[in-house]
């Protein structure tokens, strides 16, 4: 599954952006920074608009990012997918049959190697690498792993999106609304 060819995945960091995502032509979107009390309503809105949301579990305010919180999200909110930096969250999401996206920060070569080990453990469905503006590392990872790559973080221009895609990412997550309307969507 490759998000049905959608190369830009909107990452809504507030309700205003979430509403813009709902009005967009994008089917898939990431939900960042949300309060636990808003989750049910946001999930219902997404269903009304036939949108599939990926919840960044680490950024839900009022919810600890552990396997119990993941069970709650999977059973009560029923997102299309869960994004997390935490291996236990990714493993639990997979156990619950929810798309699991392991987020990895590309800080240095040691972090990249830890990321490879982490992916072997979690067997995530996707890996999201940040920052997404390092095509050389994206290319290197895409040659070394079979897990599809999403690029995110610091992506500001169409050129950076294209560089990430050309390097091997299947899509780019971004909160930059201008890119949500780009011609490739």
- Domain contains 122: yes
Determine the pLDDT at residue 185. Answer: 53
Determine the pLDDT at residue 183. Answer: 66
- Domain contains 108: yes
Please give the Cα distance from 130 to 24 (Å, whole number).
Answer: 24
Determine the pLDDT at residue 181. Answer: 84
* pLDDT tens digit sequence for 42-94: 999 999 999 999 999 999 999 999 999 999 999 999 999 999 999 999 999 99
Q: Provide the residue range defining the domain that includes 9.
A: 3-180
Ramachandran angles phi, psi of 47, nearest 5° = -60, -40
**Residue 120 has which token pair?**
């072997």
- Domain contains 185: no
Q: What is the CATH number of the domain that holds 49?
A: 3.20.20.70
- Contact between 172 and 151 under an 8 Å Cβ cutoff? The reply is yes
- Domain contains 142: yes
* pLDDT tens digit sequence for 102-126: 999 999 999 999 999 999 999 999 9
3-state secondary structure of 174: strand
Q: State the pTM of this model.
A: 0.96
Determine the pLDDT at residue 184. Answer: 56
Beta bridge partners of 102: 84, 127
- Domain contains 155: yes
Domain count, the chain: 1
Distance of CA 29 to the CA centre of its chain: 8
**Residue 181 has which token pair?**
């309307």
Determine the pLDDT at residue 71. Answer: 97
């Amino acid at each position: 599954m490759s998000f049905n060819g959608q190369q830009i995945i909107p990452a809504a960091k507030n309700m205003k952006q979430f509403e813009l995502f709902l009005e967009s032509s994008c089917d898939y979107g990431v939900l960042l920074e949300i309060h636990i009390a808003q989750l049910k309503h946001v999930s219902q809105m997404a269903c009304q608009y036939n949108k599939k949301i990926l919840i960044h579990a680490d950024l839900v305010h009022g919810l600890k990012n552990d396997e119990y919180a993941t069970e709650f999200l999977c059973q009560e909110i029923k997102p299309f997918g869960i994004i997390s930096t935490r291996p236990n969250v990714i493993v639990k999401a997979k156990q619950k049959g929810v798309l699991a996206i392991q987020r990895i920060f590309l800080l240095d070569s040691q972090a990249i190697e830890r990321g490879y080990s982490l992916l072997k453990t979690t067997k995530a469905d996707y890996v999201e690498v940040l920052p997404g503006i390092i095509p050389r590392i994206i290319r290197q990872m895409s040659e070394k792993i079979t897990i599809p790559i999403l690029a995110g973080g610091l992506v500001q221009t169409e050129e950076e999106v294209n560089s990430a895609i050309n390097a091997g990412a299947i899509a780019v997550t971004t909160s930059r609304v201008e890119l949500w309307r780009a011609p490739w969507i």
